[in-house]
Amino acid sequence: MTEPNMNYANLKDSYLFFGIAQKVKKYSEINPDKKILRLGIGDVSLPLCKSVISALTEGVSDQAEKSSFHGYMPECGAPFLRTTIAEFYRKRGVKVADDEVFISSGASDELGDILDLFDKDNSALVIEPAYPAYVDANVIAGRKIIHLASSLDNGFTPEPDEDKLADIIYICSPNNPTGAVFTKEKLKKWVDFANAHGSIILFDAAYEAFIEDDSVPHSIFEIDGAESCAIEVCSLSKTAGFTGTRLGYTVIPKALVRNGMSFNAMWIRNRTTKTNGVSYIIQKGGAAVFTEQGQKEIKENIAYYKENAKVLMRVLDECKIEYTGGKNAPYIWLKCPNNLGSWEFFDLLLDKIQVVGTPGEGFGSCGEGYFRFSTFGSREDTLHAAERLKDLFGNL
């Protein structure tokens, strides 16, 4: 008999988003006249910018002519896009070679696939609250997972702990769900820790474009020593609205070597076996994000989401609700008032003011008592939600 991967039996049900959807559905059925404002989703609401659309359209036209038609694309990414992205790093003062950049179909795909590079007996450290895929991908692979809880006391950016050693270390900055960012000093501690123990950091920079503090690193490779202990996974999903278009990139330095094995060379071998590259049209569209005009346009979209964040932060400040995020990230992570549990607060918001957010408990047990608002919704919904929240907090 075929033996299935029994690790799937160890996965917790994806209760979070399913649970939210069920509760919202039930509420809407009972109250069809009530307008529900959704601040729960991590998906963008603005369309792709003009430069990207023009490049995508050009890409389609290229595929219509024999002279400009592209068949299979190089497995690790189109040279034009790898160079463009490496240049983007170099302009920011970060040394990255063209062949250290790999093009992907997005960060989720990559975060799962990249685990192929690690021995199955490697352990993984997850700083929680965390994006749930880090835990789930390692449960599927049967790895030992070490949970490191963070809290408001350390601004949700804990320092390494000698009692919590692991082979693979996940760091997400700006963080989903807490919106917290790791400073250069804190990241340096993690880089030194990883180098001292031979660990590898998987640095998730999916939200780097939302950083507005000049002192906060956009890339782990801004930190000395990171080239020998880190892989950086990036995405155009939130940066440029590619959630449904799909494009990401990953940086694997050639200096990243363990046991005589180069992770860069292993990833080339992996990609040439497991993919036939990302679509030419999409890579063409992605390259437009890095042009001067493309950068201007995506920044306008990001500014729109940041204005949403300000609307919500204003209410939280006025009502003296503790929170992190909003400034360098598209998420606001707040302490539920009156010591309510995450799901209790969820029910309260849905019942009283028809605002939907994400209960913190879904991001790990230390997220209990917290709640996440996304700033990716429409301005109109965010403004209405802010008014309703203000009324509710005033009456608690």
Of residues 45 and 108, the one with the C-beta less far from ligand PLP: 108
Select from 183, 243, 275, 291 the one that contacts ligand PLP (CB under 6 A).
243
Of residues 82 and 372, the one with the C-beta less far from ligand PLP: 372
In this structure, what token pair is assigned to residue 373? 């608002």
- Cis amide bond preceding 129, omega within 30: yes
Positions in 206-235 near ligand PLP (CB under 6 A): 206, 235
- 203 contacts ligand PLP (rule: CB under 6 A): no
Positions in 349-378 near ligand PLP (CB under 6 A): none
Of residues 46 and 348, the one with the C-beta less far from ligand PLP: 46
Q: Where does this chain touch ligand PLP (CB under 6 A) — which range of 106-114, 121-129, 190-198, 388-396? A: 106-114
- 114 contacts ligand PLP (rule: CB under 6 A): no
- 45 contacts ligand PLP (rule: CB under 6 A): no
- Residue 152 CB coordination number (10 Å): 15
Buried b / exposed e over 252-290, threshold 16 CB at 10 Å, is bbeebebeeebbbebbbebbeeebebbbbbbbbbbbbbb
Of residues 84 and 176, the one with the C-beta less far from ligand PLP: 176
Of residues 106 and 160, the one with the C-beta less far from ligand PLP: 106
- 107 contacts ligand PLP (rule: CB under 6 A): yes
The residue among 131, 133, 269, 148 whose CA lies nearest residue 199 is: 148
Tell the smallest beta-carbon distance from residue 210 to ligand PLP (Å): 11
Q: How far is CA 331 from CA 178, 181, 278, 302, in A?
A: 7, 12, 29, 12
- Residue 172 CB coordination number (10 Å): 27
- 298 contacts ligand PLP (rule: CB under 6 A): no
Positions in 134-193 near ligand PLP (CB under 6 A): 172, 176
Of residues 354 and 362, the one with the C-beta less far from ligand PLP: 362
In this structure, what token pair is assigned to residue 224? 């000395």
3-state secondary structure of 385: helix
- Residue 61 CB coordination number (10 Å): 10
- 204 contacts ligand PLP (rule: CB under 6 A): yes
Edge-to-edge strand list for the sheet holding 323-325: 323-325, 331-335, 370-374, 358-359
The residues binding ligand PLP (CB under 6 A) are 42, 106-108, 131, 172, 176, 204, 206, 235, 237, 243, 248
